[in-house]
Structure 1
Amino acid sequence: MHAVRADFDDSTIVVYQAYAPAIAEPALRAGRFVAPFSFRRMTWIKPSLPWLLHRSNWAAKPGQERILAVRITRSGWERALAAGELTTGDQQRLAAAEVHVQWDPERSLRGAALNHYSIQVGLGRETVRTFVDEWIVSLTDLTPQIRRAAELVRAGRTEQARRLLPEERRYPLPADLAARLCRV
Structure 2
Amino acid sequence: MQEPQRRIRALYGESTITVYQAYPPEIGVPAARDGRFPPAWKRDRMTWIKPSFLWMMYRCGWGEKAGQETVLAVEVTRDGFEWALRHACLSGYVHAVHGDRATWQRRLKRAPARVQWDPERDLRLRALPYRSLQLGLTGEAARRYADEWTVAVRDVTPLARAIRAHVNDGDLDAAAGLLPPERPYPAPPAAEFGCPCPGRAG
Task: Report if TM-score (shorter chain) is over 0.5.
Answer: yes
Max radius of gyration: which structure?
Answer: 2
Of the three residues 25, 49, 54, the one matched with 2:53 is 49
Deviation at 1:155, TM superposition (A): 1.2
In structure 1, distance between residues paired with 2:13 and 2:106: 36
Q: Which runs of 5+ in 1 are unaligned?
A: none
Residue of structure 2 in register with 1:24 after alignment: 28
In structure 1, distance between residues paired with 2:194 and 2:82: 14
The answer to whether 1:181 aligns with 2:193 is yes
Q: Does structure 2 retain, via aligned residues, the 8 Å contact 1:26–1:35? A: no
| One-letter code aligned to 1:114 | L
| One-letter code aligned to 1:133 | D
In structure 1, distance between residues paired with 2:144 and 2:123: 32
Q: Does structure 2 retain, via aligned residues, the 8 Å contact 1:54–1:109? A: no
Aligned length: 182
Deviations 1:117-147 (A, max 9, x none): 0101110022111111110110111111111
In structure 2, distance between residues paired with 1:133 and 1:96: 21
In structure 2, distance between residues paired with 1:173 and 1:57: 28
Normalised to the residue count of structure 2, the TM-score between the two structures is 0.86
In structure 2, distance between residues paired with 1:146 and 1:74: 24
SS at match of 1:144: helix
In structure 2, distance between residues paired with 1:17 and 1:39: 15
Residue of structure 1 in register with 2:140 after alignment: 126
Q: Which runs of 5+ in 2 are unaligned?
A: 94-103, 197-202
Question: Taking every aligned residue pair, what percent have the same amino acid on both sides?
Answer: 46
Deviations 1:102-131 (A, max 9, x none): 001101110111111010111002211111
Normalised to the residue count of structure 1, the TM-score between the two structures is 0.94
Deviation at 1:28, TM superposition (A): 1.6
SS at match of 1:7: strand
Alignment of 1:136-151 (within 5 A): 136-151=150-165
> What RMSD, in angstroms, separates the aligned Cα atoms of the two structures?
1.3
Q: Does structure 2 retain, via aligned residues, the 8 Å contact 1:3–1:182? A: no
